[in-house]
Structure 1
């Protein structure tokens, strides 16, 4: 399995940012509310981040030598996939709500209600937390390179295989 490509995270964030900006501009011109998730969505993000960290810490403990219980390789692979999905979902949220936030800033003086602006800023921050969590947990799932005959395995991506 490949590691997360930072370039793809950036592409997802930029494309979703442009889309969020355009959709918000269209919505505000036509009298619709801003397409932003509310503050209650932060609870869901917190659950996703906490669950991903919980599973990642379990894999890290096994990787670091606490091998009293065997680690199911399927569970480790699922943890890795969850970490990567969390990072990409965070990039999507960051881009979409970042684009909306930038569009809302131009309307700051004209609107009495700033709730969509604050909600988009909060969701952008939640997206950044999701990206960071995904990258950290992905690192937890990576095994260190094995020592072969006194030398390190020089892999091009700088690490070993996944747990």
Structure 2
């Protein structure tokens, strides 16, 4: 399993933003109000993933990967990579959705009162989705093993 490519995430954001804009254009009148709390759950997950990434990175740098008390099991690291990849994709899709919503709301703030009221909630939700993508990519980076030291040609001759 390779690292998540940022260009794939970017393409997903753009595609979902376009589809989201079209859907919002057709269905906005039935939307519930968007509050500042709309996307905050994504921020909680992002904070948890970033904190876990710091913990994993510290264990890897200390060489405390393996079986034993105080050590981080290698399967925990592998599961963390899977969670990071899934979170990056979920965050990218949700970010695309909120960018599509913002694409609809921002030009209509002055003419549609409810669009002006919903803009702040959509901005917070988009920022929280971006935080989730960033934290997921950070966790994925933290789970990488340190690079092997290069072979020393002088030691190979011994």
1:109 corresponds in structure 2 to: 110
Give how far 1:43 is off.
Answer: 3.3
Give how far 1:66 is off.
Answer: 5.7
In structure 2, the gaps of 5 or more residues are: 154-158
Deviations 1:75-108 (CA, angstroms, capped at 9, x unpaired):
1111111112222122112111001101112211
Question: Matches of residues 112-127 of structure 1 in structure 2 within 5 Å?
Answer: 112-113=113-114, 114-127=116-129
Give how far 1:7 is off.
Answer: 1.4
Give how far 1:42 is off.
Answer: 3.4
Larger gyration radius, structure 1 or structure 2: 2
RMSD across aligned C-alpha pairs, in angstroms? 2.1
Give how far 1:148 is off.
Answer: 4.6
Deviates more, 1:85-94 or 1:61-70: 61-70
1:45 corresponds in structure 2 to: 42
In structure 1, the gaps of 5 or more residues are: 152-163
* 2:34 aligned with 1:33: no
1:24 corresponds in structure 2 to: 24
**Does the 8 Å CA contact 2:39/2:129 hold for their aligned counterparts?**
no
1:158 corresponds in structure 2 to: none
Deviations 1:94-130 (CA, angstroms, capped at 9, x unpaired):
1110011011122112212223222111111111111
Distance change in 2, residues 1:100/1:8 (3 Å): same
**Does the 8 Å CA contact 1:25/1:103 hold for their aligned counterparts?**
yes
* 2:23 aligned with 1:12: no
1:61 corresponds in structure 2 to: 58
Secondary structure of 1:115 counterpart: helix
Q: Using CA pairs below 8 Å that are at least 6 residues apart, which structure has the higher relative contact order?
A: 2
Distance 1:61 1:116 in 2: 41
Distance change in 2, residues 1:61/1:5 (3 Å): same
> Larger % of helix: which?
2
User: Normalising by the residue count of structure 1, what TM-score does the alignment of the two structures yield?
Assistant: 0.81
User: Normalising by the residue count of structure 2, what TM-score does the alignment of the two structures yield?
Assistant: 0.83
Number of residue equivalences: 148
